[in-house]
Amino acid sequence: MVRAGAALLTKVADLTGRPPLLGMSTDEMRNVQEGGAFDGSKAERELGLAYTPICETIEEEVAAYQRQARA
């Protein structure tokens, strides 16, 4: 179903000249399916970017959501 949806959204994007909705192009879905890996070492090296571990990021987001829900 996802591949069919991506194909449809890619066709619509081709017709309108706009990027596919939600970034769901057939190319993007192929990357996801094949387990495309990305390396951020160049960004770390050249831009000084520091990545936050995923568990820490999720904990921070949950805490922010809980603070917002109380407000």
Task: Render the burial of 24-50: b for 16+ CB within 10 Å, e for the rest.
Answer: bbeebbeeeeeeeeeeeeeeeeeeeee
Indicate the pTM of the whole model. Answer: 0.44
Q: What is the predicted pLDDT for the residue at 36?
A: 67
Q: What is the predicted pLDDT for the residue at 64?
A: 96
Q: Are residues 47 and 33 in the same domain?
A: no
- pLDDT interval class at 2 (50, 70, 90): confident
Domain count for the chain: 2
What are the structure tokens assigned to 47, written together? 């831009």
Q: Are residues 1 and 23 in the same domain?
A: yes
What are the structure tokens assigned to 26, written together? 């057939």
pLDDT in tens, 24-66: 888 888 777 777 677 889 999 999 999 999 999 999 999 999 9
Q: Are residues 18 and 48 in the same domain?
A: no
Q: What distance in Å separates the CA atoms of residue 10 and residue 25, rounded to the nearest whole number?
A: 5
Q: Are residues 28 and 46 in the same domain?
A: no
Q: Are residues 1 and 31 in the same domain?
A: yes
What's the one-letter identity of residue 24? M
